């Protein structure tokens, strides 16, 4: 398992549209389990409702962890996506 911390910089937080894109990205990595954690809890990033339930706002530090095939590449892709969210 590999993990990394990332801070969401999007002023509007991780609302439905970018959360949906994140879930779509994660589901494309078959054989890997991706979890997103806040200080309060951890969820499976392949579940839209779970991701939205975190209520991720601008400035929230997240820990992304990946277990399964090609962990480093999956982690890089997910962290890069979160860093690129601007809306």
Question: Catalytic residue among 3, 15, 33, 76, which?
Answer: 15
d(CA 71, CA 56): 24
- Per the annotation, the verdict on 15 as an active-site residue is yes
Task: Indicate which residues carry an active-site annotation.
Answer: 15
């Amino acid at each position: 398992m590999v993990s990394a911390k990332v801070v969401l910089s999007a002023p509007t937080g991780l609302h439905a549209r970018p959360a949906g894109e994140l879930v779509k990205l994660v589901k494309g990595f078959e054989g890997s389990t991706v979890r997103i954690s806040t200080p309060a809890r951890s969820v499976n990033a392949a579940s839209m409702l779970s991701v939205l339930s975190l209520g991720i706002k601008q400035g929230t530090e997240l820990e992304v962890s990946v277990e399964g095939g090609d962990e480093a590449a999956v982690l890089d892709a997910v962290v890069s996506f979160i860093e690129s969210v601007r809306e």
